[in-house]
Amino acid sequence: MPPSLLRLRACTTRRLSALLWLAVTLSACRIEHVTPQAPTAPSAGADQVDNFENKSFDPKKQAADIWEGKVLPAIKARAGAFPELRAAMRSGIDAAGAAHGHRERGEGAPWNFATVIKGRIVEVDSGSSAASIGVDTDGDGKADARVQIGPVLRGTAIRDSLPFISFTSYSNQVEFAQLANAFNDQTYKAVLKGLPRASLKGRSVEVLGVFTASDDDDAPLVTPVALTLGPAS
């Protein structure tokens, strides 16, 4: 056989062998379709803290439910006339507190006093949302007490003046703080929202309210739970 024919046969044989190897290799392979997996949310570990949320606790409803039947009677029962109460506080704050106040946490905590203030409005501070009025109780033309009129009411005096409200009855400090805010909201809605703010100065006023004792002996900041306006002088 001529050499050229031999070379052609050898080349053909190599090609056929290569095709046969490729066919065998492909038949042995299996192509699988892999579905991408959605990322898995990390599990809560020891160093992860869930946000506090007690859906069963409704502080505004609780404050509204006990306002007329428990809150107002409790404050009225312990309220002392403001001039006499201030004199008693100067003589002995613990004795005055036992008669007209409450403090849950015991010795060393500030007293929260209930009082009745009668006098005339000589100041109106409405330059902020934490507005207040100054009430003259002794006729000297100077404010002896400042009464909050809101809409922002500061402090926790309403909650802390009530002997039937105890921190131990609530899950944590968050709930206890929410209740204090709810009492402030309740008194603003029930007592203060409709005040004629533009014509308060000069009018007589009677306030049933509470305040937390402090080192400032001049004019305590009183949160009212009832307020009655009289005529202007």
Which sign does the torsion angle of CA 167, 168, 174, 179 carry? negative
| Cα separations in angstroms, 66 against 12, 76, 142, 167, 193 | 103, 14, 36, 17, 20
Which tens digits make up the pLDDT trace of 155-192?
999 999 999 998 777 778 899 999 999 999 999 999 99
Query: Concatenated DSSP letters for 129-148?
Result: SEEEEEEESSSSSS-SEEEE
* Residue closest to 225 by CA, chosen among 183, 196, 165: 183
The confidence score (pLDDT) of residue 17 equals 52
The confidence score (pLDDT) of residue 106 equals 64
The confidence score (pLDDT) of residue 76 equals 98
Which tokens go with 151?
A: 């809409």
The confidence score (pLDDT) of residue 91 equals 93
At residue 55, what is the residue type? K
- Residue 78 to residue 63: CA distance in whole angstroms: 19
- pLDDT over 70, % of the chain: 74
Residue 93: is its pLDDT beyond 50? yes
More confident residue, 62 or 30: 62
What are the residues whose beta carbons fall under 8 Å from the beta carbon of 190, sequence distance 6 or more?
67
Distance, CA of 52 to chain centre: 12
In residues, how long is the chain?
Answer: 233
- Residues forming beta bridges with residue 41, ordered by sequence position: none
45 φ, ψ (degrees, to nearest 5) = -100, -175
Which tokens go with 164?
A: 């039937």
- Residue 54 to residue 175: CA distance in whole angstroms: 9
Residue 38: is its pLDDT beyond 90? no
Which tens digits make up the pLDDT trace of 138-156?
999 999 999 999 999 999 9
- Residues forming beta bridges with residue 95, ordered by sequence position: none
Sketch the domain layout of the chain as residue ranges.
59-232
* Strand pairing report for 130-136 and 221-232: unpaired
Average pLDDT over the chain reads 82
| Cα separations in angstroms, 163 against 20, 107, 192 | 96, 15, 24
The confidence score (pLDDT) of residue 27 equals 46
Residue 171 has what DSSP assignment?
A: S
The answer to whether the CB of 133 falls within 8 A of the CB of 98 is: no
Residue 121: is its pLDDT beyond 60? yes
More confident residue, 89 or 31: 89
May I ask the CATH architecture of the domain 59-232? Beta Barrel (2.40)
Query: Concatenated DSSP letters for 214-230?
Result: -S--S--EEEEEEEEEE
Average of per-residue pLDDT across 67-72: 98
- Residues forming beta bridges with residue 228, ordered by sequence position: 206
- Among the ranges 21-25, 189-193, 214-218, which has the highest mean pLDDT value? 189-193
